[in-house]
Chain A
């Protein structure tokens, strides 16, 4: 039972990492990035391919993270292309173009590397915690997820870069008037989001294999979490991610996949209801 909780929390945090990227890119670069889930898969496929070629693990993981950077640049290029239009047109164009990018990535990855399932096995031994048996890899995944999120909080809350990001997020014109290079901040934000997405995928491989075709599903999940968490707020996104992750794990354990899925959808709808009228701000 404890390992269900741990896995749920872990999944939730990994989802939060991905969704947080989507939230900040939307708030700062002005596009809802439908290729975000594919960024995760780009990293995992790269890692999988490199590992199968015998690359040492740390190098493979590092290169896998770097592989998300070109995707981030493509997303940034799209955001620049659509920036001159009014809000509604910009929104639609951004969605369509990032969708095109998503389809391109999805199609290429599934076609070129159909069996590149990424999985990082740390041994199958278990630990006894508080009377329950927990997989060691689950604990590591949880620890890494927490560390990644803590890093994100530190970055956004305590550094100059983080302040620029938050300022641009809250009031773009004012940020510009305060001497913040908004364009550069947007670029850095998009790249950061891509790296986080990649990192999340690499952590996930510790507990379950990540298939190349999962990209679309991850995009939809992260979109739901991001919006249900209130799109104005990273803490909100994180909270929503944790809720969805936990509900998913707990119910899958007790109830089984089909009803679980419906319950996850329902909890997302409830979150949406709560954040809809604009409560949270960050």
Chain B
């Protein structure tokens, strides 16, 4: 399997303290990898660094064979990296349609907007009837799914989702995790960060355990229950 994303020896300083220390991580094409860890372990920092919002003091980020470390977030986005943040994930005063359009305009544009929209509506059928609704008026779960739809509309190569389960009802969570699974089977690589270990294990092939900015361990997910227990022991000893 080809490596799509490679984080090599990355350290990041935030507000004077070390948020990530000497981190190594890779995601292959079509893989779903989860980064798990307690609050403050550096998961969001990691995702934001890969997306380009934070500059590592040491190390580099390689994407699709190229060193993207000096690139700004918008440039990385155009290369195929899309981040779905955990909050403020939509443009609140724009309609759903406009949100999707903005996202499509910033993407690879391998298809027309109408084609892309058709494709998205198949994964998220509820969107079709609410295209004119202001994004700020959606519920938390709907916003999260809209954000994912926006990211997918641009045909990214790597989809990063920060805490997909937070603020979602179990039903919405199932829907979100379901779409992630089906997308990875069509070649999309996914990197997600999660506090909820069980949710992470439901979709990922590989789990990276983070605590206090340091990678503690990495596990292939074969037997979920076994790996879950392993992870918990790793984090909490």
Are A and B direct contacts in the complex by CB distance below 8 Å?
A: yes
Residues of A contacting B103 in the complex (Cβ-Cβ under 8 angstroms): 178
Chain B positions 102-138 with a Cβ under 8 Å from a chain A Cβ: 102-103, 105-107, 136
- Picked from B89, B92, B102, B150, the residue with its CB within 8 Å of the CB of A180 is B102
Kindly provide the distance from the CB of A179 to the nearest chain B CB, expressed in whole angstroms: 3
A167 vs B99: C-alpha distance when bound (angstroms): 8
* B74 close to chain A: CB less than 8 A: yes
Task: Identify which of B18-26, B33-41, B75-83 touches chain A.
Answer: B75-83
Residues of B contacting A119 in the complex (Cβ-Cβ under 8 angstroms): none
Does A163 lie within 8 Å of B101, measured CB to CB?
Answer: yes
A163 vs B105: C-alpha distance when bound (angstroms): 10
A39 vs B77: C-alpha distance when bound (angstroms): 36
Residues of A contacting B77 in the complex (Cβ-Cβ under 8 angstroms): 176-179
Does B74 lie within 8 Å of A179, measured CB to CB?
Answer: yes
A50 vs B205: C-alpha distance when bound (angstroms): 71
* A2 close to chain B: CB less than 8 A: no
* B225 close to chain A: CB less than 8 A: no
Beyond A166-B91, A171-B88, whether A160 also contacts B105 by CB under 8 A is: yes
Does B98 lie within 8 Å of A163, measured CB to CB?
Answer: yes
Does A170 lie within 8 Å of B74, measured CB to CB?
Answer: no
A173 vs B90: C-alpha distance when bound (angstroms): 11
Kindly provide the distance from the CB of A236 to the nearest chain B CB, expressed in whole angstroms: 11
* B6 close to chain A: CB less than 8 A: no
Residues of A contacting B78 in the complex (Cβ-Cβ under 8 angstroms): 179
Beyond A166-B94, A171-B91, A281-B93, whether A178 also contacts B106 by CB under 8 A is: yes
Residues of B contacting A179 in the complex (Cβ-Cβ under 8 angstroms): 74, 77-78, 105-107, 154
Does B53 lie within 8 Å of A167, measured CB to CB?
Answer: no
Kindly provide the distance from the CB of A198 to the nearest chain B CB, expressed in whole angstroms: 28
A182 vs B105: C-alpha distance when bound (angstroms): 14
Does A180 lie within 8 Å of B106, measured CB to CB?
Answer: yes
* A92 close to chain B: CB less than 8 A: no
Residues of B contacting A166 in the complex (Cβ-Cβ under 8 angstroms): 91, 93-94
Does B93 lie within 8 Å of A170, measured CB to CB?
Answer: yes
- Size bin of chain A's contact surface: 10 to 19
Helix, strand, loop or mixed for chain A's interface?
helix
A179 vs B108: C-alpha distance when bound (angstroms): 10
* A217 close to chain B: CB less than 8 A: no
- Picked from B82, B94, B98, B136, the residue with its CB within 8 Å of the CB of A177 is B82
Does B98 lie within 8 Å of A282, measured CB to CB?
Answer: no
Residues of B contacting A281 in the complex (Cβ-Cβ under 8 angstroms): 92-93, 136
* B5 close to chain A: CB less than 8 A: no
Kindly provide the distance from the CB of A101 to the nearest chain B CB, expressed in whole angstroms: 28
* B152 close to chain A: CB less than 8 A: no
Residues of A contacting B102 in the complex (Cβ-Cβ under 8 angstroms): 163-164, 167, 175, 178, 180
* A181 close to chain B: CB less than 8 A: yes
Does B94 lie within 8 Å of A176, measured CB to CB?
Answer: no
Chain A positions 137-173 with a Cβ under 8 Å from a chain B Cβ: 160, 163-164, 166-167, 170-171, 173
* A208 close to chain B: CB less than 8 A: no
Residues of A contacting B101 in the complex (Cβ-Cβ under 8 angstroms): 163
Residues of B contacting A163 in the complex (Cβ-Cβ under 8 angstroms): 94, 98, 101-102, 105
Residues of B contacting A270 in the complex (Cβ-Cβ under 8 angstroms): none
* A57 close to chain B: CB less than 8 A: no
* B73 close to chain A: CB less than 8 A: yes
Kindly provide the distance from the CB of A187 to the nearest chain B CB, expressed in whole angstroms: 14
* A174 close to chain B: CB less than 8 A: yes
Does B93 lie within 8 Å of A177, measured CB to CB?
Answer: no
Does B105 lie within 8 Å of A177, measured CB to CB?
Answer: no
Does B92 lie within 8 Å of A174, measured CB to CB?
Answer: no
A282 vs B98: C-alpha distance when bound (angstroms): 13
0 or 1 for each of B206-233: is its CB under 8 Å from A? (1 = yes): 0000000000000000000000000000
* B85 close to chain A: CB less than 8 A: yes
Kindly provide the distance from the CB of B41 to the nearest chain A CB, expressed in whole angstroms: 21
Does A173 lie within 8 Å of B53, measured CB to CB?
Answer: yes
Q: Can you name 21 A-B pairs with beta carbons within 8 Å?
A: A160-B105, A163-B101, A163-B105, A164-B105, A167-B102, A170-B92, A170-B94, A171-B88, A171-B90, A171-B91, A173-B88, A178-B74, A178-B103, A178-B106, A178-B150, A179-B105, A179-B107, A180-B74, A180-B102, A182-B74, A281-B92
* Extra 6 A-B pairs, beta carbons < 8 Å, given A171-B88, A171-B92, A177-B77: A174-B89, A176-B74, A176-B77, A179-B78, A179-B107, A182-B74
